[in-house]
Structure 1
Amino acid sequence: MTRQLLSFCLGSCLLAALPGVDARAAELPVRKAGLWEMKTLRTGSPMPEMTIQHCTDVATDKEMSSSFSPASKEMCSKQDIQKTATGYVTDSVCSVAGVTITSHAEISGDFNSAYTVKSTSHSDRASAATMPRDSTTTIEAKWLGACKPDQKPGDIVMPGGIKMNIKDMEKLKGMIPKQLPK
């Protein structure tokens, strides 16, 4: 269960960072500063629905872009973002823990009050409990208002009260195995 939670947390945190992802053809807008609630629904996966809260500000969203940019360039052979009439479309091919994952996402919303990310992904191999071959993920994000008094920009509160800061992702990156067990 710890491995599943870590895997899901990493995935959720990376998806939480979508508004700050390094873009080649277009750039996603920075989210409004404050507390965002992000509800993640997954199909084709044993992971349950999860709701997290993320405290952010303009500087943190921009920093996430520059922090994740080197990691994404290291892990992704393709990462394209295009502006559409209704929002944005992203397509990526990334290698994580020796597994190649091809993803397509459609992003809509205003990044001031709410946005939605609908993505499909296909991996070149499945992992028993944590990574299905094909999955669909929907993130529904809504702005709740100012961050709570005990929160600072970058703080993420996971189910069960687990709290971490997105700025600590470099530490978590070292916990990702180079290869998944077969």
Structure 2
Amino acid sequence: MTRQLALLGSAVCLVLSTGAASAVDLPIRKAGLWEMKMVRTGGQIPEVTMQHCTDETTDKDMSTAASPLAKQVCSKQDVQKTATGYVSDSVCGVAGVNVTSHSEITGDFNSAYTVKSTSHSEGGTSGAHDATMIIEAKWLGACKSDQKPGDIIMPGGMKMNIKDMEKLKGLLPKQK
């Protein structure tokens, strides 16, 4: 159960870091099934590979759904276009844990892209620590027949829909 919660937390962070509206909006990904491999160092979460079925409307909805959530938990959320892709800087806090992160996004949103993030966390039971996460995303083709846009299939077959993330806002503690 703890591993599933950690994976869910990673998915939430992924949505906040790549989907929130800011100074520059990220491009919409090509519709279909995307594989996302997340490799994290400096933490206890092992490598995770998940699949995400998306379409244009879902990717746009992720921006509008993540934006209020990011505004609730993040004091800074900035995305800028660069010569090679995008750079994102954020400062977010949930349940007494504050995370400052910097991400570089390269590639295209039609076949493959990479997100390299570094973060510094303070608070909570683990104290202060630094972590690095690399997300390698690649387009696999059409979504499977039993999938609908927004579905995320986690390791072990756990399935959730990103559209349900909006419901999580009510579970987060209010920021001071």
What TM-score, normalized by structure 2, do the two folds share?
0.91
CA deviation profile, 1:76-108 (whole Å, cap 9, x unmatched): 111111111100000000111121110000000
Q: Which residue in 2 is equivalent to 1:3?
A: 2
Structure 1 position 141 matched with structure 2 position 140: no
8 Å CA contact retained: 2:104, 2:117 = yes
**SS of aligned partner of 2:123:** coil
> For 1:69 and 1:160, how far apart are their aligned partners in 2?
29
* Structure 1 residue 170: Cα displacement: 2.8
Deviation of 1:17 after TM superposition, in Å, equals 6.1
User: Would the aligned equivalents of 1:20 and 1:65 in 2 still touch at CA under 8 Å?
Assistant: yes
Amino acid at match of 2:31: A
Q: Match of 1:23, SS?
A: coil
Cα distance in 2 for partners of 1:153, 1:17 equals 18
Cα deviation, residue 74, structure 1: 1.1
Equivalent AA in structure 1 for residue 110 of structure 2:
N
Change (3 A) 1:7 1:171: farther
Change (3 A) 1:166 1:110: same
CA distance in 2, matches of 1:34, 1:16: 17
CA-CA distance at 1:19 after TM superposition: 4.4
CA distance in 1, matches of 2:30, 2:135: 17
| Cα pair 2:96 2:123 within 8 Å, conserved | no
Give the % identical residues. Answer: 64
Provide the residue aligned with 1:154 in structure 2.
150
TM-score (normalised: structure 1): 0.88
- Residue 163 of structure 1: aligned partner: 159
* Counterpart-to-counterpart distance in 2, 1:4 and 1:176: 19
Runs of 4+ in 1 over 6 A off after TM superposition: none
Runs of 5+ in structure 1 lacking a partner?
none
1:32-54 Cα shifts (integer Å, max 9, x gaps): 00000000000001111000000
What is the identity, as a one-letter code, of the residue corresponding to 1:145? Answer: G
Paired residue for 1:70? 68
